[in-house]
Amino acid sequence: MRLMRVAVVAAGLAISAHAYAEAPAVVVPKFRGTPAEVLPDEKGPRRLIRFLTSPDYPPFQFLKADQSPAGFNIDLARAICAELEFPCTIQALPWDELPAALESGRADALVASYRPSEELYAKSSLTRPYFRLPARFAVRKGDTTEISPSALEGKKIAVVTGSAHEAFLKEFFQKAALSGFADAEGARTALKDGAADLLFADGAGLSLWLGGTASADCCAFAGGPYFESRFFGEGLVIAVRKGDNRLRQDLDRALDQIDEKDQIGDIYLRWFPVGIF
pLDDT in tens, the chain (277 residues): 334 444 444 433 333 333 333 434 567 777 766 566 788 888 889 999 999 999 999 999 999 999 999 999 999 999 999 999 999 999 999 999 999 999 999 999 999 999 998 999 999 999 999 999 999 999 999 999 999 999 999 999 999 999 999 999 999 999 999 999 999 999 999 999 999 999 999 999 999 999 999 999 999 999 999 999 999 998 999 999 999 999 999 999 999 999 999 999 999 999 998 889 8
Contact (CB, 8 A) for 239 and 125: yes
Q: What spatial distance separates the first Cα and last Cα of the chain, rounded to whole Å? A: 20
Q: What is the pLDDT of residue 18?
A: 34
> What's the fold here for domain 135-231?
D-Maltodextrin-Binding Protein; domain 2 (3.40.190)
Q: What is the pLDDT of residue 266?
A: 92
Give long-range contacts, CB 8 A cutoff, 24+ apart: 159-164.
159/187, 159/199, 159/200, 159/201, 160/184, 160/187, 160/201, 163/201, 164/135, 164/231, 164/232
- SS in 3 state form for the chain? CCCEEEEEECCCCECCHHHCCCCCEEEEEECCCCCCCCCCCCCCCCCCEEEEECCEECCCEEECCCCCEECHHHHHHHHHHHHHCCCEEEEECCHHHHHHHHHCCCCCEEEEEECCCHHHHHHEEECCCCECCCEEEEEECCCCCCCCCCCCCCCEEEEECCCHHHHHHHHHCCCCEEEEECCHHHHHHHHHHCCCCEEEEEHHHHHHHHHCCCCCCCEEEEEEEECCHHHHCCCEEEEEECCCHHHHHHHHHHHHHHHHCCHHHHHHHHHCCCCCC
How far apart, in whole angstroms, are the C-alpha atoms of residue 43 and residue 90?
Answer: 21
How far apart, in whole angstroms, are the C-alpha atoms of residue 232 and residue 132?
Answer: 9
Q: What is the pLDDT of residue 34?
A: 57
Q: What is the pLDDT of residue 81?
A: 97
The strand pairing partners of 92, in sequence order, are 53
Q: What is the pLDDT of residue 36?
A: 65
Kindly report, as residue ranges, where domains of CATH 3.40.190.10 are found in the chain: 4-132+234-271, 135-231
Which of 3.20.20.80, 3.40.190.10, 3.90.870.10, 1.10.4030.10 would CATH assign to domain 4-132+234-271? 3.40.190.10
What's the whole-model pTM score? 0.85
Q: Over the range 20-38, which residues count as b (16 or more CB within 10 Å of their CB) and which as e?
A: eeeeebbbbbebbeeeeee
Q: Which of 159, 169, 231 has the alpha carbon at shortest distance from 198?
A: 159
Q: What is the pLDDT of residue 31?
A: 72
